[in-house]
Chain A
Amino acid sequence: MKIIIERFDGKKKYESTYELRIDEVKGQTLLSLLQYIKRTQDITLNFTAACRMAICGACAVRVNGHSYLACDTKMEELLEEYENPESMRISPLNNFRVITDLVVDWEPSIENLRKVKPTITPKSEFSEKTGCVQTQADVDAIKKQWDCILCGCCASECNKLEADASDYMQPFVFTHAYRAADDSRSKDPMIHLKPAIANGLWNCVHCQECVDRCPKGISSFGDIESLRVMAMKKGLNEGMGPAHAEAFLLDMVEGDGRLNEIKLALRSEGVLANTTKLDIAYNLMKAGKMNPLHIFGGEKIEGHAELVKMVEAARKAEKEGTIK
């Protein structure tokens, strides 16, 4: 079969095609295949790798446009996933600057990590003598996030980063921000939460690519959601993102039980901004897809009073600390 590798010599992009017998491919990992090609066919091929046991995160690349941790990916699984193709395309991680061949620049990502201060400042009650003891439950709350090995697979496939990275950080950065902010030993979660908000917490597009690409099963999207919940609880609810999310909750519980699209637009960006969208509203009304009278509210759903009772009971239990 053909293994096509996207190359870059520092100035120009090109690709190299390597012909391999299927028995040379099967039984390999993606990383050992790259090493085999370098050893037997092309000494000039550049890629990064270190631990070979999925703990250092150095060897992530893309295959057919999807990111994989090379040392943790069996070629047989890839052949099965892509139904024994005649060729496979290996390329560097997306959304990173390529230095050479499959080697990418991590410095901007590390700079973003620095912004969210991923190490914790312990609470004053801890001392050298008493230590920083956590309960098992406290450890469990952030255990998964500690598994992040900074491989960049989530960032590579992030649809928001691809569109515009200027107002958004890599998904794993939010995971590290949440891990630090939710650590029971941390003196102040705001140290991590505020820079996360300032660097695009509400700009995630919910594509869920980060969830599916993480070789460690971490959900950066889930961590983004958790950071948002934390922000709302702490009263950091300024901006269009919080207003938009809150509008759905308002309609669901305090409203009629279903989304009111007119109120949603007004609540999300205000009356003034909506005047620039009057043409769109007109088209929708003309097509019978928007009822202007909904601005006064609609009909409550059957059983709405019971829904409110259920939600209030849950909120009360949460407030009393009987649930987290």
Chain B
Amino acid sequence: MSNNKEFAFFPGCVLSQAAKESKMSLEAIAPILGITLHEIPGWSCCGASQAQCVDPIASLVANARNIALGEKMGMPILTTCSTCMLTLTKAKNTLDKGAKDRINTFLAEGNMKYEGNTEITSLLWVLYQNLDTLKAKVVNPLSNLKVALFYGCHSLRPERELTKESSTNPKSFEAVVEALGATIVPFEKRLDCCGFHASYPAGKSVRKMSSQIVGNADSNGADVVVTPCPLCQMQLDIYQERYQDENNSNIRKPIIHLSQLVGLALGLSNKELGLDLNIQDATRLVG
């Protein structure tokens, strides 16, 4: 990030609605870190790990189109949503492993073509690849803040699709947060699933899973849970009162986006980072 890095930005649906503070904070930290984001015009929903269960060919075509739109911009595609990253990456893998020509016959209906020459990456991964630059920009080391790091499934798994790092013993998130100077607490649930994708059909199980994550972070002394995935953030934040009540727990914990934590270390205000929009109060993390 020492030189300006430009990305074709794929926000994903959640960033314009229930996790708008994720987009706000990303757009606040990006210029400081030398990142320029160009939103992909006309991007569509990726299907969010759901639509492919109904119509896999429609999902593949839509994501081939999304990637092709990014390719036309001539820069890597960046998303902060782990599920978008996984869905786009899986589509890219399918296309590159033999489906490209067949799917291109459908993209031709809109005068588009998938080439297969663009990388798909995430905010977490870009920060991990540029730790020195990140460290150099920290003006407010977060050593007084005890954080529990929650990766979120689709940041890591399936390892053979994402191929970024070990899903058994990952390092990227810890390295990024160490660069920010924060104190990382032990957190046994850091690789677990919040259950977001089954929150409707398997609600009771999901509320229990989410509650255990918040409880585990608390019992390890965390002030806050941080996640690179806006869907995990939403699941753990928005519904926290309800699932904690249901599981007879009075623990309440702020859940923040990775981009918000980075912003705090870069000296940005609560307002600039949208911390006042989080449902569980996250405005008193830094004094």
List residues of A whose CB falls within 8 A of some B CB: 66, 81-83, 159-160, 162-164, 167-168, 200, 202-209, 211-212, 217, 219, 221, 225, 228-229, 232, 239-249, 251-253, 257-259, 261, 268-269, 280, 283-284, 287-291, 301-304, 306-307, 309-315, 317-318, 323
Q: Check A301–B58 contact: CB distance below 8 A.
A: no
Q: How far is the CB of A233 from chain B (nearest CB, A)?
A: 9
Q: Check B205–A160 contact: CB distance below 8 A.
A: yes
Interface secondary structure of B, over-half rule: helix
Q: Check A302–B193 contact: CB distance below 8 A.
A: no
Q: Check B43–A244 contact: CB distance below 8 A.
A: no
Q: Check B238–A284 contact: CB distance below 8 A.
A: yes
Report the Cα distance A315→B13, complex, angstroms.
24
On chain A, the residues within 8 Å of B277 by CB distance are 287-289
On chain A, the residues within 8 Å of B49 by CB distance are 206
Contact A310 B169, CB 8 Å, known A163-B209, A206-B49, A229-B53: no
Docked complex: B221-269 residues within 8 A CB-CB of A: 238-239, 242
Docked complex: B187-246 residues within 8 A CB-CB of A: 192-193, 195-198, 200-202, 204-206, 208-209, 238-239, 242
Report the Cα distance A314→B56, complex, angstroms.
10
Partner of B54, one of A160, A245, A257: A245
On chain B, the residues within 8 Å of A289 by CB distance are 17-21, 277
Q: How far is the CB of B41 from chain A (nearest CB, A)?
A: 5
Contact A245 B57, CB 8 Å, known A288-B20, A310-B65: no
Chain A to chain B: the 9 pairs with minimum beta-carbon distance, closest first? A306-B110, A207-B193, A302-B42, A208-B157, A259-B13, A241-B201, A163-B205, A206-B197, A159-B193
Contact A303 B45, CB 8 Å, known A205-B197, A313-B105: no
Q: B158 near A: Cβ within 8 Å?
A: yes
Q: How far is the CB of B28 from chain A (nearest CB, A)?
A: 16
Docked complex: B26-48 residues within 8 A CB-CB of A: 41-45, 47-48
Q: What does the 1/0 interface line of B150-164 toward A look like (CB < 8 Å)?
A: 000110011110000
Q: Check A244–B158 contact: CB distance below 8 A.
A: no
Contact A229 B54, CB 8 Å, known A205-B202, A306-B110: yes
Q: How far is the CB of A289 from chain B (nearest CB, A)?
A: 5
Q: Could you write out 21 A-B pairs with CB less than 8 Å apart?
A: A162-B209, A164-B205, A206-B153, A209-B193, A211-B158, A211-B160, A212-B157, A221-B158, A225-B52, A229-B55, A241-B201, A244-B201, A257-B44, A258-B45, A268-B200, A289-B19, A301-B44, A311-B58, A313-B105, A314-B58, A315-B58
List residues of B whose CB falls within 8 A of some A CB: 13-14, 16-21, 41-45, 47-62, 65, 69, 102-103, 105-107, 109-112, 153-154, 157-160, 166-169, 192-193, 195-198, 200-202, 204-206, 208-209, 238-239, 242, 277, 279
A207-B157, A289-B19 given; name 12 further pairs at CB < 8 Å.
A202-B201, A225-B56, A229-B54, A232-B53, A241-B200, A244-B50, A249-B59, A257-B45, A289-B17, A301-B42, A307-B62, A310-B106
Report the Cα distance A52→B158, complex, angstroms.
27
Report the Cα distance A206→B232, complex, angstroms.
12
Report the Cα distance A89→B65, complex, angstroms.
46
On chain A, the residues within 8 Å of B65 by CB distance are 307, 310
- The residue in A163, A209, A241, A242 that gathers the most chain B C-beta atoms within 10 A of its C-beta is A163
On chain B, the residues within 8 Å of A307 by CB distance are 44, 62, 65, 110
On chain B, the residues within 8 Å of A317 by CB distance are 105-106
Q: How far is the CB of B204 from chain A (nearest CB, A)?
A: 7
Q: How far is the CB of B27 from chain A (nearest CB, A)?
A: 16
Contact A246 B54, CB 8 Å, known A206-B197, A258-B44, A283-B238: yes
On chain A, the residues within 8 Å of B54 by CB distance are 228-229, 232, 242, 245-246, 248-249
On chain B, the residues within 8 Å of A287 by CB distance are 277, 279
Q: How far is the CB of A188 from chain B (nearest CB, A)?
A: 22
Report the Cα distance A6→B6, complex, angstroms.
50
Q: How far is the CB of B274 from chain A (nearest CB, A)?
A: 9
Partner of A252, one of B17, B47, B109, B158: B47
On chain A, the residues within 8 Å of B279 by CB distance are 283-284, 287
On chain A, the residues within 8 Å of B56 by CB distance are 225, 229
Report the Cα distance A82→B53, complex, angstroms.
35
Q: Check B58–A163 contact: CB distance below 8 A.
A: no
Q: Check B198–A204 contact: CB distance below 8 A.
A: yes
Q: Check B198–A206 contact: CB distance below 8 A.
A: yes
